[in-house]
Amino acid sequence: MNQYFLLIACLQLWSLITPVNPASTWGPLFFIFAVSATKEAWDDYNRYISDKQANEKEVWIVKNGTRKHIQAQDIRVGNIVWIRENEEVPCDLVLIGTSDSQGICHVETAALDGEIDLKTRVIPLTCVGLDSEQLHKIKGVIECPNPDKDIRRLDANIRLFPPFIDNDICPLTISNTLLQSCYLRNTEWACGVAVYTGNETKLGMSRGVPEPKLTAMDAMIDKLTGAIFLFQIAVVVVLGSAGNVWKDTEARKQWYVKYDDDEPWYQILVIPLRFELLCSIMIPISIKVSLDFVKSLYAKFIDWDEEMYDHETDTPAHAANTAISEDLGQVEYILTDKTGTLTENKMIFRRCCIGGTFYGNESGDALRDVELLNAVANNSPHVIKFLTVMTLCNTVIPIKSSSGAILYKAQSQDEDALVNAASNLHMVLVNKNGNTAEIHFNRRVVQYEILDILEFTSDRKRMSVVVLDCESGKIFLLSKGADEAIIPCAYSGQRIKTFVDAVDKYAQLGLRTLCLGWRELESEEYLEWSRSFKEANSALIDREWKVDEVCQKLEHSLEILGVSAIEDRLQAGVPETIEILRQSGINFWMLTGDKQSTAIQIALLCNLISSEPKGQLLYINGRTVDEVARSLERVLLTMRITTSEPKELAFVVDGWALEIILSRYNEAFTELAVLSKTAICCRVTPSQKAQLVKLLKSCDYRTLAIGDGGNDVRMIQQADIGVGISGREGLQAARAADYSIGKFRFLKRLILVHGRYSYNRTAFLSQYSFYKSFFSFLSGIAGTSLFNSVSLMAYNVFYTSIPVLTTVLDKDLSEKTVMQNPEILLYCQAGSSFTFVQFLAIWGNFIAFYIINFFISSIPSAGMYTIMFRLCRQPTYWVTLLLISGVGMGPVLALKYFRYTYRPSAINILQKAERSRGPMYTLVNLESQLRSDMENTNISISTPPVKNKNSVYEPLLSDSPISSRRSLVSSSFDIFQPAQSRTTSSFPRNIKAN
């Protein structure tokens, strides 16, 4: 659109063709560019000030054996940088020394990844034992890959020169680094070698401007602009040709028209180009400024909404993207994470199965189970092993408070729950310094040396540690992870049925499960494996793949010790929110990394799926291509057959099958996605979440993705609308999102109130902006203007823009009514209200029009001298004004009156209820009452048609700005009936199409 206005402005500089003063276009154009440029300049200035403060911050470096102050912007690769406690890390450093005797330090990475828990960083083994004097003189080589943005990986090596140590290569990982923007905590000082600086740091590489999101309204405006431009071309061709004919036939006969006999070759283009300039007002130049202005206000309304303020976490709602508010009222699919989004992410250890014995089944709390407490007191071998794995197989950091109490800092809530549970059972992790862990158990002190950590990955789905029992000298492998990752590693002959049953039983209760195992290692086996592990960790190419391969060689023949079950409660208001949004015609998909049975139980509890007989759940499972293909085909067939049945169908698929489907059967899965309004995707990876969003977008559905963790960022950024929850997993999702809220329940208000109002207001403003620009132009087909330049400019920018901007306050229904009747989101019909500000703006502009033009008409040089005085003395002017208003507005108002009185829509019914100031009915009760009153007068009520999964919803209201909106819902779903209360006592019938 901006290119079009620039073209018109350039044409007006040609004095031969311009019928008006160029200021009529250049003025508004400069104003638009000035507003945009000022906004961008202000943002750039703020970034400049922020960058300047960061660049000029003083830091300590070692140079020529002494420490000195320099500015952060002067740090060079290879400099040794010293950081003190609570200071920000200025660049990416390889840690080589700390004030701690064990060579560890703690960092806060919230500014980098949004995770608020402290993380441990350790110096490389080759730097252990170096004192501060040696650190001033240290020399060596660090081999590192090219800069990248992966904040969780670093595949590098370090080699120190003699006399500090020989030339042995020591591998470096992310646990040996301090990344830019982290803060040093609970450590007096730390120093490291700068490996990446400036824009080459991990943070600098990950920075980038996200792609702008185009709303449905913006796309419609662009298409309409193109259509109007094509219409202009047709008008220009017709009128330009007619003008040239008239010029050569009739114009030369007129005494007041003079044309040169020797005309240049381009004279034939003059009249068509004049008409192009006159027709340019069809595309309103004010629409961009108007839309940007009102959209900014919509975003502020969200920021100011006190009903979306989370008092528990002191978190207000925030709109980071001011351009897509109206799309909130057009959402068709919501893709949601589970843990921390639907649930609280407050993990509580509830039950466990150890050595085949179930604990906590009676009381619902294993920590109070007398049988388990007695087993701990009696030093039961299985229980002791189980608690040892819970205590050591993690990344938890114990910190002693000033009162002497031990607090745990964990990178995941699951680990925090496990370590605290073990502590309550008298196995307390007291200290973890470097590679040494100290445990107090039943008044005994036990020390372990942590030899190696086999880190958790989304592919392996487990974590292991190799420890040395300092008392016995034995080496053990401790493992914990998903059942599908641990149970297959059991030693041959172990009976695992009890543990499989425990996993299923706990999952059906909605509990998160982890399987724990261990194995004693022979010294020779460990030493041989350790060499391979060190080589894999030293690889600069494919390090992650090589490390995983080596880990698998050790993680086998495990003794499965038991299963832990952790409760993650639903957030308050989640079932009600999902129920209301489903009534409004929105479809839900739950994407989670949890196991299938756990996800299904949570889906039942939060009203995402229904139990039998109302609901039916279809399974897509399989490990091979053929199995998945057959399963998918059967589910598709079932969906097609039962489309017309009054039953809510949903399907569930796991990550393994989903990987095969997305790579081989994308078209069939797309059909399934259209047929089903509810889906549960389990064991999915972050990339698969983004792929599912992309798949739904490819079907032209408006998608909203909501999550709270770093693994949800890709999904959030891929969706048309991204919503982040400022949860316990940090702020990474909230920072990457278009909107951030404190709790899932606020999504209901965000969509139904802010989304619906924003869409209605933007739709009205867009239609008005185009409608007001069509007026007749007739001047003997000579390409001259009936109005002067000031009037033309003021018409678009002033007279007809200010009144409509007050639509930001327009409400066709009250917020209370909207929340009580979510079905009306399907209408999204703009219109039926006036505020005092709107009334004042409309009539104030009408009066201002005459005052301003009378003033201009009194100025001889203004080009309108005496025009208004003469015009207003003529009765035909006032008669014409009344006729134009009557012809233009009469049919529209009459049609609206007829519909409102004799064929009221659902919105009209609710408007009548509000204006009557009687008791507020729900839509279904009010409709029934009005229908009975109107039957005697043969008056019908227009309601949306009943929909099924294969139908496309089309409102009966032809003037609805959302007439093309699609919303696929169940055939049994009556949008005027409140959904039946959902129960979770019965489990849905499972159709396993294997």
Q: Give the DSSP letter string of 366-398.
A: GGG-HHHHHHHHTT-HHHHHHHHHHHHSS--EE
Are the beta carbons of 512 and 347 closer than 8 angstroms? yes
* More confident of the two residues 915 and 664: 664
The DSSP code sequence of 681-732 is EES--HHHHHHHHHHHHHTT--EEEEE-SGGGHHHHHHSSEEEEE-BTTBSH
Tell me the C-alpha distance between 456 and 908, whole Å: 57
- Do the annotations mark residue 385 as ligand-binding? no
Q: What is the 3-state secondary structure (H, E, C) of 585-654?
A: CCEEEEECCCCHHHHHHHHHHCCCCCCCCCEEEEEECCCCHHHHHHHHHHHHHHHHHCCCCCCEEEEEEE
Q: Answer yes or no: is pLDDT of 249 > 80.
A: no
Looking at residues 703-724, what average pLDDT do you find? 87
Q: How confident is the model at residue 988 (pLDDT cuts 50, 70, 90)?
A: very low
**Residue 933 pLDDT > 80, yes or no?**
no
Q: For the sheet with 183-185, list strands across it.
A: 118-122, 104-108, 183-185
Q: Are 722 and 734 in contact (CB under 8 A)?
A: no
pLDDT value of position 449 = 93
What is the pLDDT at residue 81? 93
pLDDT at residue 944 tops 60:
no
pLDDT tens digits, 295-311? 878 888 888 988 889 88
- Answer whether the bond into residue 803 is a cis peptide, omega within 30°: no
Q: Is 415 annotated as a binding residue?
A: yes
593 is in an annotated binding site: yes
- Record: fold of 57-206: 2.70.150
Residue 925 clears pLDDT 60, i.e. is over it = no
8 A C-beta contact, residue 435 and residue 102: yes
Q: Residue for token digits 């070692």?
A: 62
The more confidently predicted of residues 159 and 812 is: 159
What is the average pLDDT value for the chain, to the nearest integer?
Answer: 78
Q: Is the pLDDT of residue 947 over 70?
A: no
Whether 862 has a pLDDT exceeding 50, the answer reads: yes
197 is in an annotated binding site: no
Q: Is a pLDDT exceeding 50 seen at residue 778? A: no
**pLDDT of the residue at 29:** 67
Q: What separation in angstroms does the CA of 27 have from each of 34, 86, 118, 708, 775?
A: 10, 53, 56, 46, 21
The CATH number of 347-568 is 3.40.1110.10
Q: DSSP letters of 152-183? A: T---EEEEEPTTTS-S--EEE-GGGEE-TT-E
| pLDDT category of residue 562 using cuts at 50, 70 and 90 | very high
- Under the banding of pLDDT at 50, 70 and 90, the label for residue 684 is confident
Q: What are phi and psi of 521, to 5 degrees?
A: -110, 140
Q: What is the pLDDT of residues 718-769, one digit of tens each?
A: 899 999 987 655 567 787 788 999 899 999 999 888 888 888 777 777 666 6
Q: CB atoms < 10 A from the CB of 774, how many?
A: 9
Predicted pLDDT of residue 711: 74
Q: Is 341 annotated as ligand-binding?
A: no
Position 24 pLDDT exceeds 70: no
In the predicted model, is pLDDT for residue 777 greater than 50? no
Confidence (pLDDT) at 165 = 60
The pair of three-digit structure tokens given for residue 786, joined into one six-digit string: 């009936």
Asked whether the beta carbons of 142 and 195 are under 8 A apart, the reply is yes
Question: How many other β-carbons are positioned within 10 Å of the β-carbon of residue 11?
Answer: 17
Residue closest to 448 by CA, chosen among 415, 421, 472? 472
pLDDT at 776 over 50: no
**Between residues 431 and 244, which one has the greater pLDDT?**
431
**Judging by beta carbons within 10 Å of its beta carbon (0-12, 13-18, 19+), is residue 782 exposed, middle or buried?**
middle
pLDDT at residue 389, rounded to an integer: 96
Range ranked top by mean pLDDT from 83-92, 224-233, 879-888: 83-92
Query: DSSP assignment, residue 184?
Result: E
pLDDT at 341: 87
State residue 771's pLDDT score. 56
Is 708 labelled as part of a ligand binding site? yes
Q: What's the pLDDT at 692? A: 92
Q: According to the annotation, is 683 in a ligand binding site? A: yes
Query: How far is 875 from 896, CA to CA, in rounded Å?
Result: 31
- Residues contacting residue 613 through CB under 8 Å, at least 6 positions apart: 647
Residue 20: the pLDDT is 61
- 121 annotated to bind ligand: no
- Which of 751, 724, 748, 746 has its CA nearest to residue 735? 724
Per-residue pLDDT tens digits for 587-598: 999 998 877 877
| pLDDT value, residue 954 | 30
| Same fold flag, 57-206 and 347-568 | no
Average of per-residue pLDDT across 339-368:
89
Residue range 330-342+571-751 forms a domain whose CATH class is alpha beta
Among the listed residues 305, 337, 416, 720, the single catalytic one is: 337
Residue 383 has pLDDT above 60, yes or no: yes
The structure tokens 């008392």 sit at 471
3-state SS, 889-905, equals HHHHHHHHHHHHHHCCC
- Is the Cα dihedral 382, 383, 388, 394 positive or negative? positive
* Least confident piece of the model among 81-95, 191-205, 603-617: 603-617
For the chain, which residues make up each domain, given as ranges? 57-206, 219-281+762-902, 330-342+571-751, 347-568
Q: Rounded CA gap, 620 and 632, in Å?
A: 6
The question of whether 261 is a catalytic residue gets the answer: no
CA count, 13 A, side-chain hemisphere, 828: 33
* pLDDT band for position 943 (cuts 50, 70, 90): very low
Residue 921 has pLDDT above 60, yes or no: no
pLDDT at residue 458 in the model: 67
When pLDDT is cut at 50, 70 and 90, the band that residue 260 belongs to is low
- Please state whether the peptide bond connecting residue 163 to the residue before it is cis, i.e. omega within 30 degrees of 0: yes
Answer yes or no: is 92 a known binding residue. Answer: no
